[in-house]
Copies of this chain bind each other. A is one copy, B any other.
Amino acid sequence: MTMSRPIRMGMVGGGRDAFIGAVHRMAASLDGSMELVAGALSSTPEKSIASGLDLGLPEDRAYPTWQAMLESEAARPEDDRMEAVVIVTPNHVHHPVAKAAMETGFHVVCDKPLVMDAQQADELVAVRKQTGRVFAVTYNYTGYPMVKEARHLVRSGAIGEVRKVIVEYNQGWLATPLETTGQKQAGWRTDPAMAGAGGAMGDIGSHAENLVSYVTGLGIAEFTSDVTTHVEGRSIDDDTSVLLRFDNGARGILTASQVCPGCLNDLRIRVWGSTGGLVWHQEDPNTLKQTSLEGPDRIHHRADASLSESANAMVRLPGGHPEAFIEAFANIYRGAAAAIRDGRDDGASYDYPTVEDGARGVKFIGAVIQAGGEGWTAFREH
C-alpha cells in the first residue's frame, strides 16, 4: 500500500493528565492518517503551551488558546497550515470550537457526545452543511472490524428480519464518589455543566445507541426509560436503562451503568432476527458469534477469509494476532482522513460517524433523561 499523505491536525484539549487525547494521537498516527502540527491542549494557557511543547510541537504552534490556534493557523500558507481540528475537550467545549473551526475553514474530528443539547446539535449540522467541511464524530467502537462484519451480516439478511436487540455498556469506575477525590475524569463527567444532561447515558449510553444504529440501521420509534443516580451526592445519572421499540417493530434493551463493580468497559451487543443472531463483545473484539435456528454456532474471527469486504478493509494483521481499541479508533481516523483528502463529507462511503449521527445521539440522550421515570406500575406482592 502506498502511504497517503497524513492530514495536518491541530488538537484542542488532550494535554497533561488527559486520557482520550493520547488515544486520538495514537489512533491518528498508527497508520499515518494524521499528524499533529498544532495544539491548544488545555484551557489554561500556560498548561496549553507546556503540553504542546511536551508533545514536540514547535513553539509557534503550541498555542495558548484554541481561538489563537484557529486564527494563526488560518494565516499560514495553505500547504503548511493545519487542515483539521480535533476536539477532545470536555463536552461543553465541543460546540463553540467545532462551530468556529468550520467557519474558519477547518475540518473537524470531535469526540462524543457531540454537544450539550439538541439546539447545539442542530446548529452544528447546519454549519457543517453551509461550510461543506468534513465532520467526523469518534464513536470509535464502530471502528472494530467485527462490528463492521455484524453490520454486514444484518444488512445482508444473514439473520433475517431483526426482532430483538440488547445493547449494554457497563462500567464500575464510578461506583464510589470518585469525583469528590479530585479525579479529573470523574469530575467533569459527573458535572452537568460540563458533561450535559446525561451522565452514564451521555458518556457511554451514547456509544450504545450509535452501535445499535450502525449495526442494524433501525430507527428508534419510542422508548420507556429509568434514569437513576445510585451514588449519593451525584447530580447526574450513573445507571440508566431503556426499553426500545424500533421502526420495524423490533424490540430492544439499552442499558448504561457506571456503578457495576468489576465491569471495566463492558460494551456488548446482541441482535436476533427471524433466522439467526449475532453476539459481539468489545472486550473480546476479534470474534463475532453468529447463531442460527438449528445450530451449530459459528465463530467468525477477524481476518477470516470469509469476512465481508467492509470488515476486511479494516484489518491490519493476520488472524490470531489480536487487534484492539487503538486499531479500531484508528479506523475512524483512516476514514476521516481519506474524506478530508478528497474533500467529501460522506460518512457512508468513507465509513466514519457523521455530525448527523452525533446530533441524533445527543437528542436521544436528552429524550431519555427527560422521560426517565414515566409510566410505571406498582407491584407489591412480597
Q: Which A residues are closer than 8 A to B by beta carbons?
A: 1-3, 19, 22-23, 26, 29-32, 54-56, 159, 163-164, 166, 168, 171-173, 175-176, 213, 219-226, 228, 230, 239, 241, 243, 245, 247, 249, 251, 253, 255, 257, 259-266, 270, 272-277, 282-286, 289-301, 303-306, 316-327, 359-360, 363-364, 367, 371, 374-382
Contacts and interface: CB of A to CB of B under 8 A. Distances in A.
Nearest to A377: B371
Nearest to A276: B261
Contact of A222 (B261, B264, B306, B376): B376
A255 B300 contact: no
A176 B277 CA distance: 14
Contact of A164 (B239, B265, B282): B239
Most central of A316, A326, A367 by chain B CB within 10 Å = A326
A362 to B, nearest CB: 9
Nearest to A265: B320
Nearest to A321: B325
A220 to B, nearest CB: 5
A283 B376 contact: no
Given A175-B275, A219-B381, A260-B277, 13 more contacts: A26-B316, A29-B30, A32-B56, A164-B239, A230-B249, A259-B272, A262-B292, A265-B319, A265-B320, A283-B320, A317-B326, A323-B326, A367-B379
Nearest to A294: B305
A162 to B, nearest CB: 10
Nearest 6 CB-CB pairings of A with B: A375-B375, A262-B291, A264-B320, A265-B320, A219-B382, A295-B304
A54 B375 contact: no
A87 to B, nearest CB: 20
A255 to B, nearest CB: 6
A264 B168 CA distance: 21
B30 A326 contact: yes
A266 B375 CA distance: 29
B228 A251 contact: yes
Contacts of A323: 324-326
B226 A224 contact: yes
A264 B318 contact: yes
Contacts of A284: 284, 322
A253 B265 contact: no
A364 B164 CA distance: 23
Contacts of A382: 213, 219-220, 247, 360
Contact of A378 (B164, B221, B289, B322): B221
Given A317-B326, A326-B317, A377 B377 contact: no
Given A264-B318, A327-B326, A379-B221, A226 B245 contact: yes
Nearest to A220: B379
Contacts of A247: 382
A265 B226 contact: no
Contacts of A283: 286, 320, 322
A317 B322 CA distance: 16
B239 A241 contact: no
Contacts of A272: 172, 175, 257, 259-263
A262 B277 contact: yes
A298 B295 CA distance: 9
